[in-house]
Amino acid sequence: MKTRYIPLRHIGDHRGDMTVVEELGEVPFEVKRVFWNYNVPEGKSRGAHAHKQLRQLLVAVHGSFTVNVDDGKEQQSFVLDTPWQGLLVEPGEWSSEDFFSPGAVCLVICSDHYDENDYIRDYDEFKKIYGK
C-alpha cells in the first residue's frame, strides 16, 4: 500500500499554532485543486471511490475522521486527528472517510483539476482493475 502519513510543518508559540504546506515540499506534487468537507452528518461517509491518476493529501484541519484505504490487495484504516499531519492517498487506491467528529473539517489537496473520467466509483470495477 502506498498511502502514508506525511508530517506537516507545525509552528507554535505563545500566539498560537500554524501549519504550513508548500507544493513540492510537504505536498509531494504540484497543487491544482483544494477543497474541504465539513458538516458531515453523524454516521455518514465521504469519498468511496478511487482515482486513476489523481494524488490527494488529506488533512484534518479541525476534529477527526478515519480514512479507509484499499489498494486491491490490502485494506488499512488511518486516523487523522491533528492539523500537522496529512495522509497521502495515491492513484489506484480506493478510499472513504468515516467517523467524522462533530465539527470536523477535512482539507483535500489535489494534484489535478476535477475530471470525472479519472474516478472509479464502482467497487467491483475497482477490484477488477487493481485486485490481484
Report the alpha-carbon distance of residue 37 to residue 30 in Å, rounded: 21
The residue from 10, 49, 62, 113 that is catalytic is: 49
Cα distances (Å, whole numbers) of residue 71 to 18, 33, 35, 90, 117: 33, 23, 23, 9, 19
Bridge partner residues of 106 (DSSP): 37, 60
Concerning whether 51 is annotated as a catalytic residue, the answer is no
Question: Who's near 18: CB < 8 A, 6+ residues apart?
Answer: 10, 11, 12
Q: How far apart are the first and last CA of the chain?
A: 13
**Residue numbers annotated as active site:** 49
